[in-house]
Amino acid sequence: MRTHSRRALLGAGIAVVGSGLLAARAAGEFSSGPHLGTDGRDHAHGPQRPTPSDYVAPDGPEVAEAERKRSPGPVREFTMTATPARIDLGGHTVDTWAYGEALPGKEIRVTTGDTLAMTLVNHLPQSTSVHWHGLALRNDMDGVPTLTQRPVMPGASFPYRFAVTHPGTYWLHPHSRVQQDRGLYAPLIVEDPKEPLSYDKEWVVVLDDWVDGVDGSTPDSVLAELNRGSGGKPGHGGMHMDEGETGAEHGAPAAGSEPGGGPSRMLTGSYSKLLGGDAGDVDYPYHLINGRLAKDAETFRAKPGDRIRIRFLNAGADTAYRVALGGHAMTVTHADGFPVEHAETEALLLGMGERFDVLVTAKDGVFPLTALAEGKKHTARAVLRTGSGEAPGESTRPEELDGRLLSAYRLRAAESARAVSRRPDRTVELKLTGSMAKFDWAINGRQYSPSHRDPIRAGERVRLAIRNHTRMWHPVHIHGHHFALPNGGPRKDSAIVLPGRSLDVDFDADNPGLWMVHCHNVYHSESGMMTVLGYLRD
């Protein structure tokens, strides 16, 4: 039972119009593909849209052939249920959406060469999907609704199945609306059967900015507020109106959630020198490590002298984190899953979507692991305990946070991950455009349209010439590939681009399909800062 306010009904009308426009523009999607209900039958309805013959289709023969060459190995089966859940953050309980009522979702751990088979079950009131962040996988399993697969409708499920080719620290999250800013994220660890590092313990540290279910706020209400901005589009609920869904069916622009709730969450006047100015758009009430508030922080236990591999992952939607472990230096070994020349540091900066692996040798005592929400003056915290003693206070700020700091740009790729030097065959220019005031984030001045492609061709060395024409930093993420930062920098899938700055990154076009490049600020991508690289057919 839900009573529709006049405002919600008006919103629904706008959403229907938006849906029609998008549908009219959305040509050239996948031509078919698995879409199974919970009973295993095909629930796809409606006419098939044409596939433009110029581009590789996600379910085309090129994609199947690329997968065959990966020689998928033993099948590892998982099930993940996206569901409304009541989650205790440690002294504050929130109603949110999560994977299997856990926050973060239960870690998935496989080994290079495995076939990962995961059934996504959708118990949410909205359609959803799973994107495997950082994996170079087959295109039709990449989890972008309308582009690489049909949205997984409420009550339906979807069988993801693909070869896993590279070890490292990855994660999964929906690529649907602003769902990632709820509790829908989980780490994905791919082990290396020939692991070159030796360590005694492993600690996965997931960072997140949190607003969902706090005083009536939801990510949808935050997006609506940001869109109103000054001179924004009133009632505009975001760019995604997935195929087969209209606002009218669900009663509101943000289907399945009550619009417009909570106090103002708009952040103005934040400043970070590291990020070149404005730090973010959203004033989050909470920041979490592994789903916990600082006052009820997770404690990781080890012995003095243990070598601990810490896998940091920024699952936030609008927050860069600066992390440090009190009393310890960290040796960085991997960035976004790929090995780097080992580098010692006291603090690390992670944009949204970025991961770093570090090694530390544990000292004797109790130590804060602190994540500073960069430019936002809040911290998240966990505790490393190897001995007796009082836990450090909630607001302890280890001096290492202000010590030597590394970001991806100061690292160098390890020999094994270094790109072979080659002149690019093609340059794709990506101008990041838009402003916070208008909330009209876009690429090349064009808001995301699933029918637009920037063409590339298999076998090419492609350069992305990223030009940030905005007054804000953006973490740019590529799907299905890893680009090399300039001058022997690390191999990555996500990179911070500061305001007014340029970044040239190169990658080899070796994974045919239709692939997103987008800002990993969820509110920016959802308002339009995304584009598609499309492989031309030979």
Chain residues in the site for Cu ion (CB under 5 A)? 474, 519, 521, 524
Please identify, using beta-carbon distances, which residue of 433 and 511 lies nearer to Cu ion: 433
Cβ 352 vs Cβ 520: under 8 Å: yes
Report, in Å, the least distance between residue 164 CB and Cu ion.
Answer: 29
- Counting DSSP H helices and E strands in the chain, the numbers are 5, 31
Gap between the Cα atoms of 281 and 530, Å rounded: 18
Peptide bond connecting 285 to the previous residue in cis, omega within 30 degrees of 0: no
Determine the straight-line distance between the first and last CA of the chain, rounded to whole angstroms: 53
Count how many Cα atoms sit within 13 Å of the Cα of residue 240 in the half-sphere of its side chain: 28
Cβ within 8 Å of residue 442, ≥6 positions away: 433, 434, 448, 528, 529
Identify the H or E element spanning 66.
helix 61-69
Report, in Å, the least distance between residue 442 CB and Cu ion.
Answer: 10
Report, in Å, the least distance between residue 330 CB and Cu ion.
Answer: 27
Report, in Å, the least distance between residue 430 CB and Cu ion.
Answer: 12
Using the 8-state DSSP alphabet, how is residue 534 labeled? E
Report, in Å, the least distance between residue 187 CB and Cu ion.
Answer: 23
Q: Classify strands 115-122 and 75-88 as parallel, antiparallel or unpaired.
A: parallel
Gap between the Cα atoms of 447 and 206, Å rounded: 30
Report, in Å, the least distance between residue 474 CB and Cu ion.
Answer: 3
Please identify, using beta-carbon distances, which residue of 479 and 524 lies nearer to Cu ion: 524
Please identify, using beta-carbon distances, which residue of 239 and 297 lies nearer to Cu ion: 239
Cβ 513 vs Cβ 141: under 8 Å: no
Cβ 84 vs Cβ 128: under 8 Å: no
Report, in Å, the least distance between residue 425 CB and Cu ion.
Answer: 28
Report, in Å, the least distance between residue 448 CB and Cu ion.
Answer: 12
Report, in Å, the least distance between residue 58 CB and Cu ion.
Answer: 25
Please identify, using beta-carbon distances, which residue of 453 and 524 lies nearer to Cu ion: 524
Cβ 181 vs Cβ 212: under 8 Å: yes
Q: How buried is 196 (Cβ within 10 angstroms: 0-12 exposed, 13-18 middle, 19+ buried)?
A: exposed
Q: Is the dihedral of CA 536, 145, 118, 111 positive or negative?
A: positive
Please identify, using beta-carbon distances, which residue of 330 and 496 lies nearer to Cu ion: 496
Q: What is the largest CA-CA distance in the chain?
A: 67
Q: What's the one-letter identity of residue 294? A: A
Cβ 282 vs Cβ 178: under 8 Å: no
Please identify, using beta-carbon distances, which residue of 176 and 521 lies nearer to Cu ion: 521
Please identify, using beta-carbon distances, which residue of 328 and 524 lies nearer to Cu ion: 524
Q: How buried is 341 (Cβ within 10 angstroms: 0-12 exposed, 13-18 middle, 19+ buried)?
A: middle
Cβ 329 vs Cβ 373: under 8 Å: no
Please identify, using beta-carbon distances, which residue of 180 and 345 lies nearer to Cu ion: 180
Report, in Å, the least distance between residue 523 CB and Cu ion.
Answer: 8
Which token pair is 424?
């690019």
Count how many Cα atoms sit within 13 Å of the Cα of residue 352 in the half-sphere of its side chain: 25
Q: Residue for token digits 């299905």?
A: 480
Report, in Å, the least distance between residue 427 CB and Cu ion.
Answer: 22
Radius of gyration of the chain (CA): 22
Please identify, using beta-carbon distances, which residue of 121 and 226 lies nearer to Cu ion: 226
Please identify, using beta-carbon distances, which residue of 169 and 521 lies nearer to Cu ion: 521
Please identify, using beta-carbon distances, which residue of 173 and 524 lies nearer to Cu ion: 524
Please identify, using beta-carbon distances, which residue of 154 and 499 lies nearer to Cu ion: 499
Report, in Å, the least distance between residue 443 CB and Cu ion.
Answer: 10
Gap between the Cα atoms of 449 and 225, Å rounded: 23
